[in-house]
Amino acid sequence: MGDRTLTMPAGTSVAASAHAVAGTDPWPAHAREAEEEGRRCNVCHFPQPFAIPERSSAEIVKPQPRPEAQAEGITCASCHLTPEGKIRGPHQVSAPHETVADPRMSSSEMCAFCHAKGKRVPGEQTQTYYEWRDDFAGPGLGRQQCQDCHMPRTQRKTVEDADSPVRAVARHLWTGGHSGQRLGSALSLVLLQPQPKRANVELHLINVGAGHSVPTGSNRRAIHLQTRVVDRAGKVVTTREWMFAPWYGARPDDRAFVKADAQLPDRIAATQADEQGPHEAPIRAGEERVLTWQPRLRDGSYTVEASLVYDLNRYNDRSFKGDQREISRFTLPLTVQASR
């Protein structure tokens, strides 16, 4: 790149991916204490060279972490270096080092080690690879691999100053929770008044654009569905909100377990999840989740307004908007005439 400044297309992402900033350890110390017992997040973010797992694996185990002194973050070698010390890639190349062409570099299995956790438990955090494999690819909802959305391809030379051919090359952007493009295309919402002139509303939330659950990954991620009813004068008459988020553990978050959480090694993280109480599970790939609402309204004309807000950390005070992003907004005219 020389002295040129790298610019990103407008709206691609408002922040670097966790891949890019892993070496700077962006999480504050209290977050590591909560979820990793004070350890640096050096398993997924600082892995030893690994072999790509088989798609049929019932359980994806964590990769081996590197020693603390070698934890420089995710680099090219994290994905491209094999346990045998060779450099792998999707193409056969001639290079001064040993190389191996592995077409699975372009498959979702390449992402499985760091984006799956233990055995499949629908609704639990860090299940993204399983969600893609079991809910999206397995039933035939699509043929896209993780790279197709998170590493969109372009035509260029893989080595700029060498006599190499122009090829389809994946952009190493890993757009995700910081990307308006990814978030805005994941969910669709349809508002219905199933019974004319009755104060009943159906909200159909459909996962049509993601190859995994929404939200996915860390239990901190959440989608807030915020609704309100506005009268003809513009006054807000009533409101209702739902939150969709992964569970911290292998069961729904619930305040009933807060006392038992105090005995766990990860008590801080487990407690903060259960203290927030029950919430909606993530919307699985291809799922249509139907929510019903019966606001108490007098006869008249109203407008139902609904918005989907993506939250990078649901444990922050809700008044803090710095990690929230509205991804879509919808309206529904509502006429109520209960008496006849």
- Which of 233, 238, 227, 340 minimizes the C-alpha distance to 296? 238
Q: Percent of the chain having pLDDT more than 90?
A: 58
pLDDT of 26 above 50: no
Q: State how far the Cα of 327 lies from the Cα of 186, in Å rounded to an integer.
A: 9
DSSP element (H, E) containing 327? strand 324-336
pLDDT band per the 50, 70, 90 thresholds, residue 295: very high
Per-residue pLDDT tens over the stretch 110-121: 999 889 988 999
CA 275 to the chain's CA centroid: 22
216, 311 Cβ separation under 8 angstroms = no
pLDDT of 40 above 70: no
Poorest-pLDDT segment among 33-37, 137-141, 186-190, 267-271: 33-37
Q: What residue type is assigned to position 162 of the chain?
A: A
Q: What residue type is assigned to position 119 of the chain?
A: K
Q: Domains in the chain and their CATH numbers?
A: 18-170 (no CATH), 180-246+281-336 (2.60.40.10)
Give buried/exposed letters for 154-175 (b at 16+ CB in 10 A, else e).
eeeeeeeeeeeeeeebbeebbb
Task: State residue 92 phi and psi, 5-degree precision.
Answer: -80, 125
pLDDT of 94 above 90: no
Rg over alpha carbons for the chain, rounded to the nearest Å, is 23
Separate counts of helices (H) and strands (E) for the chain: 8, 13
pLDDT of residue 78: 87
Secondary structure (H, E, C), 23-34: HHCCCCHHHHHH
Per-residue pLDDT tens over the stretch 199-210: 999 999 999 899
Per-residue pLDDT tens over the stretch 220-232: 999 999 999 999 9
In 210-315, where do the E strands start and end?
222-231, 236-244, 288-293, 300-311
CA 304 to the chain's CA centroid: 28
CA distances 297 to 196, 201, 226, 304, Å, are: 14, 12, 18, 12
Per-residue pLDDT tens over the stretch 229-245: 999 999 999 999 999 99
Poorest-pLDDT segment among 9-23, 190-204, 301-315: 9-23
What's the chain's average pLDDT?
A: 87
pLDDT of residue 25: 47
pLDDT of 339 above 80: no
Per-residue pLDDT tens over the stretch 186-199: 999 999 999 999 99
DSSP three-state, residue 106: helix
Q: State how far the Cα of 120 lies from the Cα of 126, in Å rounded to an integer.
A: 10
Q: Average pLDDT, stretch 105-128?
A: 93
pLDDT band per the 50, 70, 90 thresholds, residue 290: very high
